[in-house]
């Protein structure tokens, strides 16, 4: 699994004045919770770039005063106007303690319905799961090769070993829909053979016999 190393400094003063001073020095305050104690720290804004601005799921090894905390990213706060990173929350991973994480979905294969002219529509990009740290992975694979036209893959269809999926099971995560061209082709297609023809000739009167 991908990981990033962040070197920070222990933060003892968490008041507004101290926080403003940190941000003026291009430092971002953060917190690590979930372990034996809560750790308040700060690190350069650039140190968070690779884990904040990505869709990938990765681990963070946060080093503070020589001690390494193995964590996952849990929450972010941005400035409403400038979009500058204001605060970062990390969850420390404890070996035998289950955590809740959001893992990206990785769709595998080309659906049969797409090969038949349909369009794949992805409705979810990730799932929320509860699991032990040792079972965490970069993404959850979902094979969609057998999806036909107008079919869905739902949360309940996803195989996530050693994980409890917390999303509602009936929610669709992907579907194969008809394209506009395919809809037009179906609308203009000739009617199926075998349709009964009008019986007008059978009902017509026989011609009169000549005298």
pLDDT in tens, the chain (211 residues): 899 999 999 988 777 888 888 888 999 999 999 999 999 999 999 999 999 999 999 999 999 999 999 999 999 999 999 999 999 999 999 999 999 999 999 999 999 999 999 999 999 999 999 999 999 999 999 999 999 999 999 999 999 999 999 999 999 999 999 887 666 666 776 665 554 545 444 444 555 555 4
pTM above 0.75, yes or no: yes
Neighbours of 142 (CB within 10 A): 20
pLDDT value at residue 188: 75
Residue 44, burial from CB neighbour count under 10 angstroms (0-12, 13-18, 19+): middle
Domain spans in the chain, listed from the N-terminal domain onward: 3-94, 100-188
Neighbours of 10 (CB within 10 A): 11
Same fold, 3-94 and 100-188: no
pLDDT value at residue 191: 60
pLDDT value at residue 202: 44
pLDDT value at residue 15: 77
pLDDT value at residue 86: 94
pLDDT value at residue 47: 96
CATH of the domain spanning 3-94: 2.40.240.10
Helix/strand number for the chain, H first, E second: 5, 13
Q: If phi over 0 gives left and psi between -120 and 50 gives alpha, with beta otherwise, what is residue 157? A: alpha
**Class for domain 100-188, per CATH?**
mainly beta
């Amino acid at each position: 699994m991908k990981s990033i190393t962040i070197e920070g400094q222990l933060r003892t003063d968490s008041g507004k004045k101290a926080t403003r001073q940190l941000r003026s020095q291009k430092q971002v305050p953060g917190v690590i919770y979930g372990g034996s104690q809560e750790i308040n720290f700060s690190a350069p804004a650039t140190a968070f770039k690779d884990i904040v601005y990505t869709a990938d799921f990765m681990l963070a090894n946060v080093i503070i005063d020589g001690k390494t905390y193995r964590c996952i990213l849990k929450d972010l706060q941005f400035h409403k106007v400038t979009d500058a990173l204001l605060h970062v929350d990390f969850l420390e991973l404890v070996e035998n303690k289950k955590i809740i994480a959001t893992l990206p979905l990785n769709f595998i294969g080309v659906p049969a319905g797409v090969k038949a002219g349909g369009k794949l529509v992805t409705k979810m990009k990730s799932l929320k799961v509860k699991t032990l740290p040792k079972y965490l992975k970069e993404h959850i694979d979902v094979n969609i090769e057998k999806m036909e036209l107008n079919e869905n893959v739902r949360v309940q269809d996803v195989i996530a070993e050693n994980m409890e999926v917390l999303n509602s099971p009936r929610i669709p995560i992907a579907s194969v829909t008809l394209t506009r061209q395919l809809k037009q082709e179906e609308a203009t297609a000739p009617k199926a053979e075998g349709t009964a023809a009008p019986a007008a000739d059978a009902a017509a009167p026989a011609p009169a016999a000549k005298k």
